[in-house]
Chain A
Amino acid sequence: MTAGTERKPLTGAFRADGAAPTLGEYRKAGGYEGLRRALKEMKPGEVTKEVLASGLRGRGGAGFPTGKKWSFMPMGEKARHPKYYTCNADEMEPGSFKDRVLMEGNPHLLIEGMAIASYALEASTAVIFLRWAYHAARKRLERAIAEAYDGNFLGENIMGTDFSLRLHVHSSAGRYMCGEEATMMTALEGRRPFPRAKPPHLSVCGLWGKSTVNNNVETICNVPHIVKNGAAWYKGLSRTKEGGTKLYTMAGRVQRPGAWELPMGTTMRELLEEHAGGMREGYRFRAAIPGGASTEFVLKGHLDTKMDFDSMPESGSRLGTGTVVVLDDRTCPIGTTWSLMDFFSRESCGWCTPCREGLPWIARILEAIERGEGEPGDMDILREHCRDLGSGRTFCFLAPGAMEPLRSALRYFEDDFMRHIREKRCTYGRAGL
Protein backbone atom coordinates (compact mmCIF):
# COMPACT_ATOMS: atom_id res chain seq x y z
CA MET A 1 0.00 0.00 0.00
CA THR A 2 1.50 3.32 -0.96
CA ALA A 3 0.93 6.49 1.01
CA GLY A 4 -1.29 7.79 -1.77
CA THR A 5 -3.79 4.97 -1.67
CA GLU A 6 -3.76 4.54 2.12
CA ARG A 7 -6.28 7.34 2.70
CA LYS A 8 -7.50 7.70 -0.86
CA PRO A 9 -7.92 4.25 -2.36
CA LEU A 10 -9.85 5.50 -5.40
CA THR A 11 -7.69 8.38 -6.54
CA GLY A 12 -4.43 7.98 -4.59
CA ALA A 13 -2.60 6.44 -7.54
CA PHE A 14 -3.75 9.07 -10.06
CA ARG A 15 -0.88 10.64 -12.00
CA ALA A 16 -0.30 14.34 -11.54
CA ASP A 17 -0.35 14.91 -15.31
CA GLY A 18 -3.81 13.37 -15.68
CA ALA A 19 -2.64 10.46 -17.86
CA ALA A 20 -3.65 6.93 -16.92
CA PRO A 21 -1.03 4.89 -15.04
CA THR A 22 0.48 2.11 -17.13
CA LEU A 23 0.37 -1.47 -15.90
CA GLY A 24 3.91 -1.09 -14.53
CA GLU A 25 3.05 2.07 -12.65
CA TYR A 26 -0.16 0.57 -11.34
CA ARG A 27 1.66 -2.47 -10.01
CA LYS A 28 4.32 -0.33 -8.39
CA ALA A 29 1.55 1.38 -6.42
CA GLY A 30 0.39 -2.04 -5.16
CA GLY A 31 -1.93 -2.82 -8.03
CA TYR A 32 -3.17 -6.39 -8.62
CA GLU A 33 -2.09 -7.35 -5.09
CA GLY A 34 -5.75 -7.54 -4.11
CA LEU A 35 -6.40 -9.91 -7.00
CA ARG A 36 -3.40 -12.00 -6.02
CA ARG A 37 -4.61 -12.23 -2.44
CA ALA A 38 -8.13 -13.18 -3.52
CA LEU A 39 -7.02 -15.87 -5.96
CA LYS A 40 -4.24 -17.37 -3.86
CA GLU A 41 -5.45 -17.00 -0.31
CA MET A 42 -9.22 -16.77 -0.35
CA LYS A 43 -12.19 -18.81 -1.41
CA PRO A 44 -14.85 -16.96 -3.45
CA GLY A 45 -17.24 -16.92 -0.48
CA GLU A 46 -14.56 -15.36 1.70
CA VAL A 47 -14.12 -12.46 -0.69
CA THR A 48 -17.85 -11.77 -0.56
CA LYS A 49 -17.74 -11.94 3.26
CA GLU A 50 -14.93 -9.40 3.38
CA VAL A 51 -16.83 -7.01 1.10
CA LEU A 52 -19.95 -7.47 3.23
CA ALA A 53 -17.97 -6.75 6.42
CA SER A 54 -16.48 -3.59 4.90
CA GLY A 55 -19.91 -1.95 4.76
CA LEU A 56 -19.41 -0.97 1.10
CA ARG A 57 -22.69 0.31 -0.34
CA GLY A 58 -23.42 0.67 -4.05
CA ARG A 59 -22.16 3.99 -5.38
CA GLY A 60 -24.48 4.10 -8.40
CA GLY A 61 -27.11 5.96 -6.41
CA ALA A 62 -29.20 3.40 -4.57
CA GLY A 63 -26.73 2.51 -1.83
CA PHE A 64 -27.58 -1.18 -1.54
CA PRO A 65 -24.91 -3.14 0.42
CA THR A 66 -22.56 -4.61 -2.19
CA GLY A 67 -21.65 -7.76 -0.25
CA LYS A 68 -25.32 -8.53 0.21
CA LYS A 69 -25.96 -8.15 -3.51
CA TRP A 70 -23.13 -10.56 -4.21
CA SER A 71 -24.50 -13.04 -1.68
CA PHE A 72 -27.65 -13.49 -3.81
CA MET A 73 -25.56 -15.16 -6.52
CA PRO A 74 -26.13 -18.94 -6.60
CA MET A 75 -22.74 -20.50 -5.92
CA GLY A 76 -20.97 -23.81 -6.18
CA GLU A 77 -21.39 -26.77 -8.47
CA LYS A 78 -25.17 -26.76 -8.31
CA ALA A 79 -25.30 -23.21 -9.70
CA ARG A 80 -25.91 -22.83 -13.42
CA HIS A 81 -22.85 -21.76 -15.38
CA PRO A 82 -21.66 -19.65 -17.13
CA LYS A 83 -22.35 -16.64 -14.93
CA TYR A 84 -21.74 -13.02 -15.81
CA TYR A 85 -20.53 -9.89 -14.12
CA THR A 86 -21.29 -6.42 -15.49
CA CYS A 87 -20.07 -2.95 -14.69
CA ASN A 88 -22.44 -0.04 -15.06
CA ALA A 89 -20.36 2.71 -16.63
CA ASP A 90 -23.29 4.32 -18.44
CA GLU A 91 -23.10 7.47 -16.34
CA MET A 92 -25.82 9.67 -17.81
CA GLU A 93 -27.36 11.20 -14.71
CA PRO A 94 -27.18 14.95 -15.25
CA GLY A 95 -24.78 16.40 -12.70
CA SER A 96 -22.65 13.26 -12.41
CA PHE A 97 -19.17 12.81 -13.80
CA LYS A 98 -17.42 10.85 -11.08
CA ASP A 99 -17.18 7.53 -12.91
CA ARG A 100 -15.52 9.20 -15.87
CA VAL A 101 -12.90 10.65 -13.52
CA LEU A 102 -12.19 7.17 -12.15
CA MET A 103 -12.03 5.38 -15.50
CA GLU A 104 -9.79 7.98 -17.06
CA GLY A 105 -7.63 8.36 -13.95
CA ASN A 106 -6.96 4.70 -13.23
CA PRO A 107 -8.55 2.13 -15.57
CA HIS A 108 -6.56 -0.77 -14.08
CA LEU A 109 -8.25 -0.24 -10.73
CA LEU A 110 -11.63 -0.92 -12.33
CA ILE A 111 -10.30 -3.95 -14.19
CA GLU A 112 -8.74 -5.40 -11.04
CA GLY A 113 -11.97 -4.83 -9.12
CA MET A 114 -13.95 -6.58 -11.83
CA ALA A 115 -11.55 -9.53 -11.85
CA ILE A 116 -11.85 -9.92 -8.08
CA ALA A 117 -15.64 -9.60 -8.15
CA SER A 118 -15.88 -12.11 -10.99
CA TYR A 119 -13.76 -14.54 -8.97
CA ALA A 120 -15.99 -14.04 -5.93
CA LEU A 121 -19.08 -14.68 -8.05
CA GLU A 122 -17.61 -17.44 -10.23
CA ALA A 123 -18.31 -15.37 -13.33
CA SER A 124 -16.41 -16.24 -16.48
CA THR A 125 -17.29 -13.20 -18.60
CA ALA A 126 -17.33 -9.59 -17.51
CA VAL A 127 -18.57 -6.59 -19.47
CA ILE A 128 -18.11 -2.87 -18.95
CA PHE A 129 -21.22 -1.11 -20.24
CA LEU A 130 -19.79 2.28 -21.14
CA ARG A 131 -21.63 5.44 -22.00
CA TRP A 132 -21.19 6.53 -25.60
CA ALA A 133 -19.74 9.96 -24.82
CA TYR A 134 -16.76 8.66 -22.88
CA HIS A 135 -14.33 8.35 -25.76
CA ALA A 136 -11.22 9.07 -23.70
CA ALA A 137 -12.25 6.54 -21.04
CA ARG A 138 -12.88 3.91 -23.74
CA LYS A 139 -9.43 4.31 -25.23
CA ARG A 140 -7.76 4.14 -21.84
CA LEU A 141 -9.79 1.13 -20.76
CA GLU A 142 -9.05 -0.72 -23.98
CA ARG A 143 -5.33 -0.14 -23.57
CA ALA A 144 -5.43 -1.22 -19.93
CA ILE A 145 -7.44 -4.34 -20.78
CA ALA A 146 -4.86 -5.32 -23.39
CA GLU A 147 -2.08 -4.81 -20.83
CA ALA A 148 -3.98 -6.87 -18.27
CA TYR A 149 -4.38 -9.75 -20.77
CA ASP A 150 -0.66 -9.57 -21.55
CA GLY A 151 0.21 -9.59 -17.85
CA ASN A 152 -2.11 -12.58 -17.23
CA PHE A 153 -4.38 -10.58 -14.96
CA LEU A 154 -7.18 -11.42 -17.40
CA GLY A 155 -7.62 -14.36 -19.74
CA GLU A 156 -6.90 -18.04 -19.11
CA ASN A 157 -5.63 -19.35 -15.78
CA ILE A 158 -5.01 -15.99 -14.21
CA MET A 159 -1.77 -15.90 -12.19
CA GLY A 160 -1.41 -19.63 -12.68
CA THR A 161 -4.70 -20.48 -10.94
CA ASP A 162 -7.82 -22.23 -12.22
CA PHE A 163 -9.64 -18.95 -12.59
CA SER A 164 -10.18 -17.59 -16.12
CA LEU A 165 -12.00 -14.44 -17.12
CA ARG A 166 -12.89 -12.67 -20.36
CA LEU A 167 -13.54 -8.96 -20.08
CA HIS A 168 -14.61 -6.48 -22.74
CA VAL A 169 -16.08 -3.02 -23.18
CA HIS A 170 -19.51 -2.50 -24.71
CA SER A 171 -20.00 1.08 -25.67
CA SER A 172 -23.60 2.26 -25.76
CA ALA A 173 -25.31 4.64 -28.15
CA GLY A 174 -26.91 7.11 -25.79
CA ARG A 175 -29.99 6.39 -23.70
CA TYR A 176 -30.36 7.19 -20.01
CA MET A 177 -32.62 4.17 -19.56
CA CYS A 178 -29.68 1.84 -20.05
CA GLY A 179 -28.32 2.89 -16.67
CA GLU A 180 -31.09 0.92 -14.98
CA GLU A 181 -29.48 -2.44 -14.44
CA ALA A 182 -32.16 -4.75 -15.84
CA THR A 183 -32.53 -2.46 -18.86
CA MET A 184 -28.78 -2.62 -19.31
CA MET A 185 -29.02 -6.40 -19.64
CA THR A 186 -31.63 -5.98 -22.36
CA ALA A 187 -29.41 -3.46 -24.13
CA LEU A 188 -26.44 -5.83 -23.93
CA GLU A 189 -28.54 -8.54 -25.51
CA GLY A 190 -29.04 -6.34 -28.54
CA ARG A 191 -32.70 -5.70 -27.86
CA ARG A 192 -34.61 -2.46 -27.66
CA PRO A 193 -33.75 -1.40 -24.12
CA PHE A 194 -36.97 -1.39 -22.14
CA PRO A 195 -36.83 -2.28 -18.45
CA ARG A 196 -37.65 -5.82 -17.37
CA ALA A 197 -40.07 -7.09 -14.78
CA LYS A 198 -38.45 -8.36 -11.59
CA PRO A 199 -38.55 -11.04 -10.25
CA PRO A 200 -36.78 -13.04 -11.50
CA HIS A 201 -33.85 -11.27 -9.93
CA LEU A 202 -30.78 -10.71 -12.10
CA SER A 203 -28.78 -13.11 -9.97
CA VAL A 204 -31.16 -15.81 -11.19
CA CYS A 205 -31.98 -14.60 -14.68
CA GLY A 206 -29.76 -11.78 -15.88
CA LEU A 207 -27.69 -11.34 -19.01
CA TRP A 208 -28.61 -13.95 -21.66
CA GLY A 209 -30.86 -15.54 -19.05
CA LYS A 210 -27.86 -16.41 -16.88
CA SER A 211 -27.01 -15.46 -13.32
CA THR A 212 -25.56 -11.95 -13.37
CA VAL A 213 -24.40 -9.34 -10.89
CA ASN A 214 -24.00 -5.71 -11.85
CA ASN A 215 -22.15 -2.96 -9.97
CA ASN A 216 -21.32 0.68 -10.55
CA VAL A 217 -17.78 1.84 -11.50
CA GLU A 218 -17.03 3.57 -8.20
CA THR A 219 -18.33 0.62 -6.19
CA ILE A 220 -16.02 -1.76 -8.03
CA CYS A 221 -12.99 0.50 -7.66
CA ASN A 222 -13.23 0.04 -3.88
CA VAL A 223 -13.02 -3.74 -4.05
CA PRO A 224 -9.27 -4.27 -4.68
CA HIS A 225 -8.35 -2.22 -1.62
CA ILE A 226 -10.90 -3.92 0.62
CA VAL A 227 -9.51 -7.31 -0.33
CA LYS A 228 -5.91 -6.20 0.01
CA ASN A 229 -6.19 -4.25 3.27
CA GLY A 230 -9.22 -5.77 4.94
CA ALA A 231 -12.67 -4.66 5.99
CA ALA A 232 -11.54 -3.03 9.26
CA TRP A 233 -9.12 -0.72 7.46
CA TYR A 234 -11.84 0.22 4.99
CA LYS A 235 -14.33 1.06 7.71
CA GLY A 236 -11.74 3.26 9.35
CA LEU A 237 -11.59 5.53 6.31
CA SER A 238 -15.10 6.78 6.94
CA ARG A 239 -16.50 9.35 9.34
CA THR A 240 -19.71 7.43 9.77
CA LYS A 241 -20.85 3.82 10.04
CA GLU A 242 -20.79 3.44 6.27
CA GLY A 243 -17.38 2.29 5.14
CA GLY A 244 -14.80 3.94 2.96
CA THR A 245 -14.34 7.14 1.07
CA LYS A 246 -16.64 8.77 -1.46
CA LEU A 247 -15.82 10.51 -4.68
CA TYR A 248 -17.82 13.70 -4.23
CA THR A 249 -18.08 16.27 -6.98
CA MET A 250 -19.38 19.82 -7.01
CA ALA A 251 -20.41 21.96 -9.95
CA GLY A 252 -22.30 25.21 -10.45
CA ARG A 253 -21.17 28.78 -9.71
CA VAL A 254 -18.53 27.81 -7.18
CA GLN A 255 -14.91 28.98 -7.30
CA ARG A 256 -13.37 25.61 -8.15
CA PRO A 257 -15.75 22.97 -9.47
CA GLY A 258 -14.23 19.52 -9.27
CA ALA A 259 -14.08 16.02 -7.83
CA TRP A 260 -12.56 15.04 -4.48
CA GLU A 261 -12.16 11.74 -2.72
CA LEU A 262 -13.07 12.35 0.92
CA PRO A 263 -14.15 10.28 3.92
CA MET A 264 -17.72 9.05 3.63
CA GLY A 265 -19.88 11.39 5.68
CA THR A 266 -18.14 14.65 4.74
CA THR A 267 -20.63 17.54 4.86
CA MET A 268 -21.73 19.62 1.92
CA ARG A 269 -20.49 22.72 3.72
CA GLU A 270 -16.96 21.32 3.70
CA LEU A 271 -17.26 20.51 0.02
CA LEU A 272 -18.47 23.99 -0.75
CA GLU A 273 -16.24 26.06 1.51
CA GLU A 274 -12.99 24.11 1.66
CA HIS A 275 -12.77 22.14 -1.54
CA ALA A 276 -14.76 24.19 -4.01
CA GLY A 277 -13.50 27.44 -2.49
CA GLY A 278 -16.96 28.91 -1.83
CA MET A 279 -19.28 30.67 -4.24
CA ARG A 280 -18.06 32.79 -7.13
CA GLU A 281 -17.90 36.53 -6.68
CA GLY A 282 -21.37 38.05 -6.77
CA TYR A 283 -23.26 34.77 -6.31
CA ARG A 284 -24.85 33.30 -3.22
CA PHE A 285 -25.79 29.72 -2.42
CA ARG A 286 -29.49 29.18 -2.92
CA ALA A 287 -29.96 25.41 -3.02
CA ALA A 288 -28.28 22.27 -4.32
CA ILE A 289 -29.12 18.97 -5.90
CA PRO A 290 -26.91 16.63 -3.87
CA GLY A 291 -26.79 13.42 -5.86
CA GLY A 292 -27.68 13.67 -9.53
CA ALA A 293 -30.84 14.86 -11.28
CA SER A 294 -33.20 12.48 -9.48
CA THR A 295 -32.64 13.72 -5.93
CA GLU A 296 -34.52 16.49 -4.08
CA PHE A 297 -33.11 20.00 -3.70
CA VAL A 298 -31.55 20.83 -0.33
CA LEU A 299 -31.23 24.32 1.18
CA LYS A 300 -28.65 26.25 3.20
CA GLY A 301 -30.00 24.84 6.44
CA HIS A 302 -29.01 21.36 5.25
CA LEU A 303 -25.37 22.12 4.54
CA ASP A 304 -24.15 20.45 7.73
CA THR A 305 -25.85 17.11 7.09
CA LYS A 306 -23.34 14.30 6.76
CA MET A 307 -23.29 13.09 3.19
CA ASP A 308 -23.79 9.35 3.49
CA PHE A 309 -26.71 7.12 2.60
CA ASP A 310 -28.21 6.98 6.11
CA SER A 311 -27.75 10.64 7.09
CA MET A 312 -28.82 12.43 3.91
CA PRO A 313 -32.54 11.67 4.37
CA GLU A 314 -32.37 14.09 7.36
CA SER A 315 -32.12 16.82 4.73
CA GLY A 316 -35.20 15.48 2.95
CA SER A 317 -33.08 14.28 0.05
CA ARG A 318 -30.78 11.34 -0.74
CA LEU A 319 -27.06 10.87 -1.21
CA GLY A 320 -27.69 9.43 -4.69
CA THR A 321 -24.41 9.65 -6.54
CA GLY A 322 -22.93 12.29 -4.19
CA THR A 323 -22.39 14.62 -7.13
CA VAL A 324 -23.55 18.05 -6.04
CA VAL A 325 -24.80 20.77 -8.36
CA VAL A 326 -25.21 24.16 -6.71
CA LEU A 327 -28.01 26.53 -7.66
CA ASP A 328 -27.06 30.16 -7.02
CA ASP A 329 -29.33 33.08 -6.17
CA ARG A 330 -29.12 34.70 -9.61
CA THR A 331 -30.24 31.72 -11.68
CA CYS A 332 -33.93 31.07 -12.14
CA PRO A 333 -35.01 27.98 -10.18
CA ILE A 334 -38.03 27.55 -12.47
CA GLY A 335 -35.83 27.45 -15.54
CA THR A 336 -33.54 24.99 -13.80
CA THR A 337 -36.47 22.74 -12.89
CA TRP A 338 -37.78 22.98 -16.45
CA SER A 339 -34.40 21.86 -17.74
CA LEU A 340 -34.46 18.89 -15.34
CA MET A 341 -37.98 17.84 -16.37
CA ASP A 342 -37.27 18.34 -20.04
CA PHE A 343 -34.40 15.88 -19.72
CA PHE A 344 -36.55 13.23 -18.06
CA SER A 345 -39.35 13.67 -20.57
CA ARG A 346 -36.93 13.18 -23.46
CA GLU A 347 -35.41 10.10 -21.90
CA SER A 348 -38.68 8.34 -21.03
CA CYS A 349 -38.76 5.05 -22.91
CA GLY A 350 -42.50 5.43 -23.43
CA TRP A 351 -43.46 2.10 -21.91
CA CYS A 352 -45.95 3.38 -19.34
CA THR A 353 -48.59 6.03 -19.87
CA PRO A 354 -48.05 8.22 -16.76
CA CYS A 355 -44.38 8.63 -17.64
CA ARG A 356 -44.78 8.93 -21.41
CA GLU A 357 -47.62 11.47 -21.23
CA GLY A 358 -47.04 13.04 -17.84
CA LEU A 359 -43.41 14.10 -18.14
CA PRO A 360 -43.86 16.08 -21.37
CA TRP A 361 -46.94 17.71 -19.85
CA ILE A 362 -44.90 18.76 -16.81
CA ALA A 363 -42.12 20.08 -19.02
CA ARG A 364 -44.61 22.09 -21.12
CA ILE A 365 -46.18 23.67 -18.04
CA LEU A 366 -42.80 24.62 -16.64
CA GLU A 367 -41.75 26.09 -19.96
CA ALA A 368 -44.95 28.14 -20.05
CA ILE A 369 -44.40 29.45 -16.53
CA GLU A 370 -40.79 30.34 -17.33
CA ARG A 371 -41.91 32.19 -20.48
CA GLY A 372 -44.54 34.15 -18.56
CA GLU A 373 -47.51 32.18 -19.84
CA GLY A 374 -48.31 30.29 -16.64
CA GLU A 375 -51.80 30.01 -15.14
CA PRO A 376 -52.69 29.99 -11.43
CA GLY A 377 -53.97 26.39 -11.71
CA ASP A 378 -50.63 25.13 -12.97
CA MET A 379 -49.25 24.57 -9.49
CA ASP A 380 -52.06 22.14 -8.72
CA ILE A 381 -51.50 20.23 -11.93
CA LEU A 382 -47.80 19.93 -11.14
CA ARG A 383 -48.53 18.73 -7.60
CA GLU A 384 -50.96 16.13 -8.94
CA HIS A 385 -48.27 14.84 -11.24
CA CYS A 386 -45.88 14.44 -8.32
CA ARG A 387 -48.39 11.99 -6.92
CA ASP A 388 -49.47 10.33 -10.15
CA LEU A 389 -45.92 9.65 -11.31
CA GLY A 390 -44.73 8.72 -7.83
CA SER A 391 -43.30 5.48 -6.56
CA GLY A 392 -45.21 2.39 -7.62
CA ARG A 393 -47.16 4.13 -10.38
CA THR A 394 -44.76 3.27 -13.17
CA PHE A 395 -42.73 0.32 -14.36
CA CYS A 396 -39.28 1.69 -13.53
CA PHE A 397 -37.81 4.43 -11.36
CA LEU A 398 -37.30 7.04 -14.08
CA ALA A 399 -40.58 8.85 -13.49
CA PRO A 400 -40.61 8.62 -9.67
CA GLY A 401 -36.96 9.74 -9.72
CA ALA A 402 -37.92 12.75 -11.82
CA MET A 403 -40.59 13.70 -9.27
CA GLU A 404 -38.02 14.11 -6.48
CA PRO A 405 -36.50 17.40 -7.68
CA LEU A 406 -39.91 18.63 -8.87
CA ARG A 407 -41.57 17.97 -5.52
CA SER A 408 -38.88 19.88 -3.65
CA ALA A 409 -38.86 22.72 -6.20
CA LEU A 410 -42.61 23.21 -5.74
CA ARG A 411 -42.04 23.34 -1.99
CA TYR A 412 -38.92 25.50 -1.81
CA PHE A 413 -39.43 27.83 -4.75
CA GLU A 414 -43.17 28.37 -4.43
CA ASP A 415 -42.73 32.16 -4.21
CA ASP A 416 -40.76 32.15 -7.44
CA PHE A 417 -43.39 30.07 -9.20
CA MET A 418 -46.14 32.41 -8.02
CA ARG A 419 -44.21 35.53 -9.01
CA HIS A 420 -43.62 34.17 -12.51
CA ILE A 421 -47.32 33.43 -12.87
CA ARG A 422 -48.43 36.76 -11.38
CA GLU A 423 -46.00 39.01 -13.23
CA LYS A 424 -46.16 36.96 -16.43
CA ARG A 425 -42.41 36.95 -16.93
CA CYS A 426 -39.22 35.40 -15.64
CA THR A 427 -38.11 37.59 -12.79
CA TYR A 428 -34.45 36.68 -13.18
CA GLY A 429 -32.01 37.82 -15.77
CA ARG A 430 -31.10 35.25 -18.37
CA ALA A 431 -29.49 32.22 -16.83
CA GLY A 432 -25.77 32.59 -16.58
CA LEU A 433 -25.60 36.32 -17.10
Chain B
Amino acid sequence: MLTEEEKEEIRKSLKDVVHKREAVSDALKVVQRHRGWISGELPEVAEMLGMSPAEVDSIATFYSLIFRRPVGKHVILLCDSFCCWIMGYREVFEHLSTRLGVGFGETTEDGQFTLLPVCCIGACGVAPAMMVDEELYGDLTPEKIDSILEDYK
Protein backbone atom coordinates (compact mmCIF):
# COMPACT_ATOMS: atom_id res chain seq x y z
CA MET B 1 0.00 0.00 0.00
CA LEU B 2 1.33 3.42 -0.90
CA THR B 3 1.58 5.74 2.08
CA GLU B 4 -0.09 9.14 2.10
CA GLU B 5 3.35 10.71 1.87
CA GLU B 6 4.23 8.72 -1.23
CA LYS B 7 0.90 9.55 -2.84
CA GLU B 8 1.42 13.21 -2.11
CA GLU B 9 4.88 13.17 -3.68
CA ILE B 10 3.56 11.40 -6.76
CA ARG B 11 0.80 13.98 -7.06
CA LYS B 12 3.45 16.69 -6.85
CA SER B 13 5.33 15.18 -9.78
CA LEU B 14 2.16 15.53 -11.84
CA LYS B 15 2.22 19.30 -11.48
CA ASP B 16 4.12 20.18 -14.67
CA VAL B 17 3.41 17.30 -16.98
CA VAL B 18 1.21 17.43 -20.08
CA HIS B 19 -0.37 14.01 -19.48
CA LYS B 20 -0.25 12.07 -16.24
CA ARG B 21 1.62 9.12 -17.63
CA GLU B 22 4.65 11.28 -18.33
CA ALA B 23 5.33 11.08 -14.61
CA VAL B 24 5.58 7.29 -14.48
CA SER B 25 9.35 7.14 -14.04
CA ASP B 26 9.13 9.89 -11.43
CA ALA B 27 6.42 8.03 -9.57
CA LEU B 28 8.48 4.85 -9.54
CA LYS B 29 11.42 6.85 -8.25
CA VAL B 30 9.26 8.23 -5.44
CA VAL B 31 8.38 4.72 -4.31
CA GLN B 32 11.98 3.65 -4.66
CA ARG B 33 13.19 6.55 -2.57
CA HIS B 34 10.94 5.42 0.26
CA ARG B 35 11.31 1.65 -0.01
CA GLY B 36 14.58 1.08 -1.84
CA TRP B 37 12.92 -0.95 -4.57
CA ILE B 38 9.60 -1.56 -6.30
CA SER B 39 7.68 -4.64 -5.27
CA GLY B 40 3.90 -4.71 -5.03
CA GLU B 41 3.11 -1.05 -5.62
CA LEU B 42 2.73 -1.21 -9.39
CA PRO B 43 -1.09 -1.43 -9.53
CA GLU B 44 -1.50 1.56 -7.24
CA VAL B 45 1.00 3.64 -9.19
CA ALA B 46 -0.76 2.58 -12.38
CA GLU B 47 -4.11 3.68 -11.06
CA MET B 48 -2.83 7.11 -10.06
CA LEU B 49 -1.49 7.65 -13.58
CA GLY B 50 -4.36 6.15 -15.55
CA MET B 51 -2.22 3.31 -16.85
CA SER B 52 -2.46 -0.46 -16.68
CA PRO B 53 -0.23 -2.31 -14.19
CA ALA B 54 1.35 -4.21 -17.07
CA GLU B 55 2.37 -0.96 -18.72
CA VAL B 56 3.97 0.32 -15.54
CA ASP B 57 5.71 -3.02 -15.19
CA SER B 58 7.10 -2.76 -18.72
CA ILE B 59 8.62 0.60 -17.78
CA ALA B 60 9.91 -0.53 -14.42
CA THR B 61 11.75 -3.42 -16.05
CA PHE B 62 13.25 -1.32 -18.83
CA TYR B 63 15.16 1.34 -16.92
CA SER B 64 18.36 0.28 -15.24
CA LEU B 65 17.89 2.61 -12.29
CA ILE B 66 14.51 1.25 -11.27
CA PHE B 67 15.13 -1.70 -8.99
CA ARG B 68 12.86 -4.72 -8.97
CA ARG B 69 14.80 -6.56 -6.30
CA PRO B 70 15.82 -5.42 -2.83
CA VAL B 71 18.96 -3.32 -2.64
CA GLY B 72 21.19 -2.34 0.27
CA LYS B 73 21.00 0.88 2.22
CA HIS B 74 23.43 2.49 -0.22
CA VAL B 75 23.73 1.76 -3.92
CA ILE B 76 27.19 1.98 -5.44
CA LEU B 77 27.18 2.56 -9.19
CA LEU B 78 30.61 1.86 -10.60
CA CYS B 79 31.23 3.22 -14.07
CA ASP B 80 32.64 0.54 -16.36
CA SER B 81 32.53 2.34 -19.68
CA PHE B 82 35.64 2.56 -21.78
CA CYS B 83 37.02 5.81 -20.46
CA CYS B 84 37.01 4.52 -16.88
CA TRP B 85 38.28 1.21 -18.20
CA ILE B 86 41.32 2.94 -19.69
CA MET B 87 41.90 4.80 -16.44
CA GLY B 88 42.07 1.74 -14.23
CA TYR B 89 38.53 0.45 -13.84
CA ARG B 90 39.61 -3.16 -13.28
CA GLU B 91 41.81 -2.34 -10.33
CA VAL B 92 39.05 -0.24 -8.83
CA PHE B 93 36.46 -2.97 -9.36
CA GLU B 94 38.65 -5.65 -7.84
CA HIS B 95 39.32 -3.54 -4.79
CA LEU B 96 35.69 -2.63 -4.27
CA SER B 97 34.55 -6.17 -4.83
CA THR B 98 37.08 -7.62 -2.40
CA ARG B 99 36.40 -5.00 0.23
CA LEU B 100 32.66 -5.52 0.09
CA GLY B 101 32.83 -9.25 -0.54
CA VAL B 102 30.27 -9.01 -3.35
CA GLY B 103 30.23 -8.95 -7.14
CA PHE B 104 28.02 -6.89 -9.43
CA GLY B 105 24.33 -7.20 -8.68
CA GLU B 106 24.92 -8.34 -5.11
CA THR B 107 24.33 -6.84 -1.69
CA THR B 108 26.72 -7.04 1.25
CA GLU B 109 25.77 -9.36 4.07
CA ASP B 110 25.10 -6.49 6.45
CA GLY B 111 22.73 -4.94 3.92
CA GLN B 112 24.78 -1.74 3.70
CA PHE B 113 25.83 -1.72 0.04
CA THR B 114 24.65 -2.99 -3.33
CA LEU B 115 27.23 -2.91 -6.11
CA LEU B 116 26.03 -2.25 -9.66
CA PRO B 117 27.78 -1.45 -12.93
CA VAL B 118 26.70 1.66 -14.76
CA CYS B 119 27.59 3.13 -18.11
CA CYS B 120 29.29 6.51 -18.27
CA ILE B 121 28.19 8.82 -15.46
CA GLY B 122 29.53 11.87 -17.26
CA ALA B 123 32.65 12.13 -15.14
CA CYS B 124 35.21 11.13 -17.78
CA GLY B 125 37.45 14.04 -16.80
CA VAL B 126 37.96 12.47 -13.36
CA ALA B 127 37.84 8.78 -14.37
CA PRO B 128 37.70 6.21 -12.85
CA ALA B 129 34.48 7.25 -11.16
CA MET B 130 31.56 5.91 -9.16
CA MET B 131 28.39 7.15 -7.58
CA VAL B 132 27.14 6.32 -4.12
CA ASP B 133 23.44 7.16 -3.91
CA GLU B 134 23.44 10.67 -5.41
CA GLU B 135 27.06 11.54 -4.67
CA LEU B 136 29.73 11.42 -7.39
CA TYR B 137 33.33 10.38 -6.67
CA GLY B 138 36.16 10.62 -9.22
CA ASP B 139 39.89 9.92 -9.52
CA LEU B 140 39.33 6.70 -7.60
CA THR B 141 42.19 4.79 -6.03
CA PRO B 142 42.01 1.89 -3.55
CA GLU B 143 42.84 4.27 -0.68
CA LYS B 144 40.19 6.73 -1.74
CA ILE B 145 37.60 3.97 -1.98
CA ASP B 146 38.41 2.84 1.55
CA SER B 147 37.88 6.30 2.97
CA ILE B 148 34.64 6.81 1.00
CA LEU B 149 33.23 3.50 2.29
CA GLU B 150 34.13 4.52 5.85
CA ASP B 151 31.94 7.61 5.49
CA TYR B 152 28.91 5.48 4.68
CA LYS B 153 29.30 2.96 7.50
Mark A residues whose CB is within 8 Å of B. 84, 91-97, 99-100, 125, 131-136, 166, 168, 170-176, 187-193, 207-208, 249, 251-253, 257-259, 289, 293, 323, 325-328, 331, 335-336, 339-340, 342-343, 346-347, 349, 430-433
Contact = CB atoms under 8 A, between A and B. Distances in A.
Nearest to A176: B119
A84 B17 CA distance: 12
B65 A132 contact: yes
Given A173-B66, A187-B25, A432-B92, 6 more contacts: A97-B125, A100-B122, A336-B85, A339-B82, A343-B119, A431-B86
Given A96-B124, A325-B82, A172 B25 contact: yes
Given A94-B83, A432-B87, A134 B63 contact: no
B109 interface: no
A327 B87 CA distance: 9
Interface size class of B (residues with CB under 8 A): 35 or more
B126 to A, nearest CB: 7
Contacts of A347: 119
Q: Give 7 nearest A-B pairs by CB, closest first.
A: A432-B88, A190-B21, A94-B81, A173-B63, A168-B16, A174-B65, A94-B120
Contact of A190 (B24, B77, B86, B136): B24
A257 to B, nearest CB: 4
Interface in B16-58: 16-26, 28-29, 49, 51, 55, 58
A99 B91 CA distance: 29
A135 B81 CA distance: 20
Contact of A92 (B20, B119, B128): B119
7 contacts: A97-B122, A170-B26, A175-B62, A190-B49, A192-B62, A252-B83, A253-B87
Contacts of B59: 190-192
Contacts of B123: 97
A93 B83 CA distance: 11
A287 B126 CA distance: 20
B89 interface: yes
A93 B16 contact: no
**Among B17, B25, B121, which residue has the most Cβ atoms of chain A within 10 A?**
B25
B122 A328 contact: no
Nearest to A337: B82
A171 B120 CA distance: 17
